[in-house]
Amino acid sequence: MFENLTDKLQAVFQNLGKKGALTEADVDAALREVRLALLEADVNFKVVKEFLGRVRERAIKAEVMMSLTPAQQVIKIVNEELIATLGEASRLNFSGQPPHVIMLVGLQGSGKTMTAAKLATTLRKNGQRPLLVAADTRRPAAVTQLEVLGRQIGVPVHSEGTAPPPPQICARAVQRARETAYNAVILDTSGRLHIDDDLMRELEQIKAQVPPAEVLLVADAMTGQDAVRVAEEFHRRVGLTGLILTKVDGDARGGAALSIRAVTGVPIKYLGVGEKTDALEPFHPERMASRILGMGDVLTLIEKAESTFDQEQARQMEQKLREASFDFEDFLAQLQQIKRMGPLSQLLEMIPGFASASRQLPADLTDKQMKSVEAMISSMTRQERRDPRIINASRKRRIAQGSGTSVQEINRLLRQFQEMQKVIKQISSGKGRGLLSLFR
């Protein structure tokens, strides 16, 4: 998401940087390009108008025009106004007596059921005891889907089939949670292909029966301006407290994320960033703004690493680096941990300066390379992984055949690994000791 918008904004800022001193005409010309970029990204036109008005008002002030780095000052203003447009970070409301009811609403196909499982996974990681409720009695197999997901993630599901009215199912689920000490109840409610009175009345009845702490709209980021219109209608009828944007990892133009908060005044609380049950990220406006402007998102990258990497393995890795005993088995273990963090292309976009470079490569090139390297190392014997020096011509042919690669690729991998070992020896000898802190 935001790829085209990021590239166009970076081009605008590069042109500003070439000018040195800025005039009001320069600012207006740059903001015209920004306006086009935002509209092409499907941002609501009213949001674009208000956003650019605030940016221009601040950008043409004397202290910006007369500063030594006016272009950087304009970028700073755009970043700050983007954050203001995206709103403040907002977390789930768990005040008051449990169980805390979280009601998920949205159109059919927006990903409510999968999001319910993701949210349950997130809450359990944070020390909560969630109970999933199959209240979508209209969509075929919705109840079964939630039961399957519940078993996969180890979270209980309250289901009564499709016969009872959803308000009664939800009421009995909340009573069960109260009796069995579940402190979070996640309601997977019915959706439609479009908004209608029957849907809204059912949601209003559920809300009256089990007053929720949160009413979260699950909105598909791919739908663009439709997501904004849907959010407005749901907010008017059932009173939203937050939003979860799904399919953010797809090729959506990103306009919904920028528009929906500004138009409805309802905060975005989570982003769905993949198909796995742990692919749900808390929404951080400042990090999203940084990624939109191509500045990376190092904090999210660090959090992904901390939640993925095994601390004991990290300590062992540091010791191996100190002793210069890093081998292919260690390298394979590191590759597998990196894979669990998500697609490498997404990780590269979080590193400042790498976003545009990573998009110049084919979408799956870096991940294909990782799979190829993993296949080559996995085709080696344990002795070969621990001592690559014994890999002769016949062993290379066997490894190439086993991994579906060529002898030339095996030779390239061995050369690159030898170079890496040289660097590691320099680090362990004290010439680059500060780099060891990266593995702590």
92 in a structural domain: no
* 107 and 240 belong to one structural domain: yes
Domain boundary among 258, 292, 326: 292
What is the side-by-side strand order in the sheet with 280-282?
Answer: 157-158, 130-135, 184-189, 100-105, 214-220, 242-246, 268-272, 280-282
| Within-domain flag for 399 | yes
In a domain, 297, yes or no: no
Q: Does 312 share its domain with 424?
A: yes
Q: What is the pLDDT along the chain (440 residues), one digit of tens a residue?
A: 566 677 777 777 777 777 767 778 888 888 888 888 888 887 888 888 998 898 888 888 866 666 657 777 777 888 888 888 888 888 898 888 899 999 999 988 888 999 999 999 999 998 999 999 999 998 878 999 999 999 999 999 999 988 899 999 999 999 999 999 899 999 999 988 778 888 889 999 999 999 999 999 998 877 767 778 888 889 998 999 999 988 877 655 667 777 888 888 889 999 888 888 888 988 888 877 777 776 554 455 555 555 555 556 656 656 665 655 678 887 787 777 766 666 655 555 555 544 554 444 444 446 677 788 889 999 999 899 888 889 999 999 999 999 999 999 999 888 888 887 776 666 556 544 443 443 34
**Is residue 40 assigned to a domain?**
yes
Whether residue 152 is found in the same domain as residue 257:
yes
Structural domain contains residue 19: yes
What range does the domain containing 324 cover? 302-439
The reply to whether 390 and 250 lie within a common domain is: no
CA angle, 217 then 218 then 221, to 5°: 120
Q: In this structure, are 244 and 178 located in the same domain?
A: yes
Instruction: With respect to residue 94, please indicate whether it lies within any of the assigned structural domains.
Output: no
The pTM assigned to this predicted structure is 0.67
**CATH number of the domain that residue 17 is part of:** 1.20.120.140
Q: Is residue 95 part of a domain?
A: no
CA distance 433 to 274: 37
Asked if the structure places residue 379 within a domain, the reply is: yes
Based on the domain organization, do 65 and 119 belong to the same domain? no
Within this chain, do residues 307 and 427 fall inside the same structural domain, yes or no? yes
User: 79 and 130 in one domain?
Assistant: no
271/168 same-domain check: yes
Please tell me whether residues 59 and 25 are part of one structural domain: yes
CATH number of the domain enclosing 355? 1.10.260.30
Per-residue pLDDT, 421? 72
Number of structural domains found in the chain: 3
Dihedral sign computed on CA atoms, order 21, 23, 26, 30: positive
**Which of these three, 292, 312, 334, is where a domain ends?**
292
Please give the Cα distance from 412 to 196 (Å, whole number): 61
pLDDT for the residue numbered 213: 94
Same domain, 271 and 323: no
State which of 86, 110, 141 marks the end of a domain.
Answer: 86
> Same domain, yes or no, for 104 and 15?
no
CATH number of the domain enclosing 244: 3.40.50.300
